[in-house]
Structure 1
Amino acid sequence: MSDEILGRGGVISKRNGCVVRPLNKWSASVHLLLSHLHQKGFHQCPALVAIEEKCEVLSFVAGDCYDYPLQGAIATEQALISAAQLLREFHDASSDFLQQHVSDKLVWMLPSREPQQVICHGDYAPYNLALNGDSVRGIFDFDTVHPGPRIWDIAYAIYCFAPFKTDVNDRLGSLEQQTYRARLFCDIYGVSSLDRGQLVDNMVQRLQALVTFMHQQAEQDNRQLIENLQDGHHLAYLSDIEYLIENKRFISDSIIR
């Protein structure tokens, strides 16, 4: 049976119900995490099936996948609620991972952040989730996982799901509607009042870190990131940073109430 190409310029494929992806420097750490998650009863993520030369073979997370603009099932309140629930379950299952593995022996794509409360997914966004109807049932693409505080992952997830985006093709609803969705995500996850007060600052810092990462990778001749910068992808993030800063007080006051 021939491979079905899934993405990343043809380097990720589906074969016999499994996903075949290139191995990276951080793959061994990701495999340890995936094994830990399944041992903790969190099965809404891939499992390592085999390693074949320079590739990893992972179980396929079945479901419907979406990208921006958010339309249909992914734009529903139920999708946002289930996404918040699943992120909380993932964080809780990962919370004791570092107690069982020596952190300085692990390699991650993205730098760890303090306090290291959980393993952050690093890219918890609609395009990395699988839905059954309008409910989020699974997470995939764990390349960006790294230790960090819960709010670091929550901030990016809310940025993506509210979404606090300014691009005409990516935004959804008014500022009031976006803030309502942000507050609902916080309520379902169980975000503390302290973290809610720091949410906008964390979203801004997370986007700034993303833009910095894009430039660093481009300088290291990452062709995908070079093309993204040439296409102006980073400009959208910079615009979103300004949007968040300008509306920080309204967003913060609304989600803390």
Structure 2
Amino acid sequence: METLQGGREWAIYRKDDVVLRPANHWTMTVHLFLKHLHSNGFLACPKPISIEKGKEILTYVDGQSYNYPLNGPISSIIALKSAAKMLRNLHDASANFLNDHQDTVLHWMLPERLPKEVICHGDFMPYNVALDGECVVGVFDFDTIHPAPRVWDIAMSVYGWAPFKTNEYDKLGTLEEQIRRAKLFCDSYGCSRLDREELVDVMTLRLTALVNYMRTMATKGDASFQENMQDCHHDAYLQDIEYLRKHRRVITQGLLD
């Protein structure tokens, strides 16, 4: 059995063509959602198999995976554009999920946000996709799905794919290069002018919500989040928030040009 890389070390395993992951109280909702995506033509995600003995079992998404720093195929423009198109397809396939499950009790890891336009992936970042060459062909780790506006998910994704990061290990290129990548992502997704005008503000809100969630979970005794706080992981997000605020005008202009 192969141990897969992820946020929870030694907790995610691959056996042949299936993956075993820890199940949570929202896992049943995730499995309903994955079935919905497949039935609506979005096939680039795992198929749920079962939930047994505290584990969820899913099909394996084939392809090469990466993490920060973004080097090689994951940093390519082809990967960037194909990721944005995949996110758009995911959102479009998700749009009827709530209507189709009006009589179902649904649980989410992250809180819902209004308007509930789509089901957001919640963490559509370079480390959660699979590549074939330079093309993004799959997406996984749907634990963080939740209903929200499209731009809420776009904002987190642009932040991670541009990426608008200040950490020396995570950042990629100059501010001008980051803006160019962010605009290409928005173009490939098909973002509206309004999306682009509010994107930086939504990015800062999304990152603030993430930091608040980390603090809340650490206070509640979650060991992984306590470790993250002790290692000051949240400080990187706070620095990125200030970076985005500082360059808000030039980023927004670059997205609109």
TM-score range, shorter chain: over 0.9
**2:4 equivalent in structure 1:** 6
Q: Calculate the TM-score normalised by the size of structure 1.
A: 0.97
1:195 and 2:195 matched: yes
1:70-103 per-position Cα deviation (integer Å, ceiling 9, x unaligned): 0000000000000000000000000111111128
- Mapping of 1:1-257 within 5 angstroms? 3-7=1-5, 8-102=8-102, 105-257=105-257
**C-alpha separation between the residues in 2 aligned to 1:46 and 1:129?**
11
Shift of 1:16: 2.3
**C-alpha separation between the residues in 1 aligned to 2:2 and 2:68?**
23
**C-alpha separation between the residues in 1 aligned to 2:103 and 2:116?**
10
1:8-61 per-position Cα deviation (integer Å, ceiling 9, x unaligned): 221211112100112100011101100000000111000111222221110000
**C-alpha separation between the residues in 2 aligned to 1:41 and 1:195?**
26
Aligned residues: 255
**C-alpha separation between the residues in 2 aligned to 1:252 and 1:214?**
28
> What amino acid is the match of 2:4?
L
Deviates more, 1:10-19 or 1:204-213: 10-19
> What amino acid is the match of 1:211?
V
Distance 1:241 1:162, change over 3 A: same
1:89-129 per-position Cα deviation (integer Å, ceiling 9, x unaligned): 00000011111112872100000001100000000000000
Counterpart secondary structure, 2:10: coil
> What amino acid is the match of 1:68?
Y
**C-alpha separation between the residues in 2 aligned to 1:205 and 1:135?**
30
- Structure 2 spans left out of the alignment, 5+ residues: none
Instruction: Kindly report structure 1 stretches of 4+ aligned residues shifted beyond 3 Å.
Output: none
Q: Calculate the TM-score normalised by the size of structure 2.
A: 0.97
> What amino acid is the match of 1:5?
T
